[in-house]
Amino acid sequence: MIRVLLVDDDPLVRSGLRLMLGGAPDVRVVAEAKDGAEVAALVAEHSPDIVLMDIRMPGMDGLAATEALRARPSQGTPGSSAEERPPEVLVLTTFNSDEHVLRALRAGAAGFVLKDTPPREIVAAVRKVVAGEPVLSPAVTQQLIAQVSEGRGGREIRAERARTQLALLGDREREVAVAVGQGKTNAEIAAELYLSVPTVKTHVSRILAKLDLNNRVQIALVVYDAGGAL
């Protein structure tokens, strides 16, 4: 059962999402919040697998709440059944060109969905994120990053930082990271690099650990900042 925390200041939106997700046999809404400041306590109380997070809210907005939530250290021994990781975050927004989306992705959100997305696709997005898959297609990811990064200051600083991060990886890990940045699946990466899928998964896990990242979307952002192809 996938446990969901809904975070939105509009009670009608929360009601609609609860009704929508309630129709899925493997999804259960365990709590709701109307402000980002309520998220930490509700996560501690209900241990959701995923948070559906609105961006614009009074008080603490969804961006600050996502940054705080994903910055929480894991509890327990890494890799053990006792390890408790922060829940995944799926951002809710009304505009696919919203410049705040990039900040949410950099903070560790696994992707975003528009509020007018068909119910079936929102349920599918929740399942994908919990399974460790970003919900943005490669084309949408690159378009979004390009839109919100165009003309913004600090691009050279981000590029230098990204190249420094990628220098921490071994040759094969960098190849896997670039492939992730191109939006390829584990199976596609395995075929391209003549590896097994479990080996690719191991490389991805090591990349996340070495670079202190949360998910594949953040790997893609680092690769994009570094120039895309290494």
Residue ranges per domain, the chain? Answer: 2-148, 153-226
pLDDT per position as a tens digit, 42-80: 999 999 999 999 988 888 988 899 988 877 655 443 443
How does pLDDT run across 152-211, given as a tens digit for each residue? 556 778 788 889 999 999 999 999 999 998 878 888 999 999 999 999 999 999 999 999
Residue 67 is predicted with a pLDDT of 87
DSSP calls for 142-195 = HHHHHHHHTT-TTHHHHHHHHHHHHTTS-HHHHHHHHHHHTT--HHHHHHHHT-
Matching fold, domains 2-148 and 153-226:
no
Which tens digit of pLDDT belongs to each residue from 86-133? Answer: 899 998 877 655 566 677 777 788 888 888 888 888 899 899 888 877
pTM for this prediction: 0.70
Domain formed by 153-226, architecture: Orthogonal Bundle (1.10)
Q: Please give the CATH topology (third level) of the domain spanning 2-148.
A: Rossmann fold (3.40.50)
